[in-house]
Chains A and B, each alone.
Chain A
Amino acid sequence: EVQLVESGGGLVQPGESLRLSCAASGFTFSNSWMHWVRQAPGKGLVWVSRISSDGLSTTYTDSVKGRFTISRDNAKNTLYLQMNSLRAEDTAVYYCASPTMTTRAFDMWGQGTMVTVSS
């Protein structure tokens, strides 16, 4: 069964750090480009970051550039998002997702992990 399972969310204070993980199984993770997408409470979906299959190419949305770092360990079939200098506006459910390369549509999603930034 194809599966993405996020973990690492929680409650942190502004300025603190958190690392999210996304464990993949049931498909060839090392061949897959991976993304993080977030959703603030009651709001829509927002793309956050992407990493190439080999980990050498990364891209970020402007609002997290310089604060978040996406990475992966293909030996462990795991995707990461290191989030530093967290702000209240980073409060959201964070999903890892993987697109089909030919269609560029996200056909695989994790269940999400909640990050709350509040004092």
Chain B
Amino acid sequence: DIQMTQSPSSLSASVGDRVTITCRASQSISNYLNWYQQKPGKAPKLLIYTASSLQSGVPSRFSGSGSGTDFTLSISGLQPEDFATYYCQQSYSTPWITFGQGTRLEIK
């Protein structure tokens, strides 16, 4: 299985800050990397697909980059509604999809 490792596991930031979350794959996954946002008691929501493409309806303050094994999710100008848990997911080895362990973004 392809292992996905996110860092940090948790992060404190303030409204208006810019934050970056990193995801590393245990082997090259090309650009088959997706990012999701999950709020408590809710289903995950797709933010970014194929590493850098913004899902329809997602604010442009979210951006993704990377290829191969190293990827980042950046959020510029944090808004109150952005405080949530973020997961990366590789879809290179479909159907054996794997997710990162999650990054919890908290209000400082």
User: A-side interface residues toward B, CB under 8 Å?
Assistant: 35, 44-47, 50, 59, 61, 95, 99-100, 103-107, 109-112
In addition to A45-B38, A109-B43, 18 A-B residue pairs with Cβ atoms within 8 Å of each other are: A35-B97, A44-B87, A45-B87, A45-B99, A47-B97, A47-B99, A50-B94, A99-B91, A99-B94, A103-B50, A103-B91, A104-B94, A105-B46, A105-B89, A106-B46, A106-B89, A109-B44, A111-B43
A45 and B49 within 8 A (CB): no
Residues of B within 8 A of A61 (CB): 96
Whether B55 sits at the interface, judged by CB under 8 Å, is yes
Whether B101 sits at the interface, judged by CB under 8 Å, is yes
List 12 A-B residue pairs with CB atoms under 8 Å apart, sorted by A's residue number. Answer: A35-B97, A45-B102, A47-B99, A61-B96, A95-B44, A99-B94, A105-B46, A105-B50, A105-B55, A107-B55, A109-B45, A110-B43
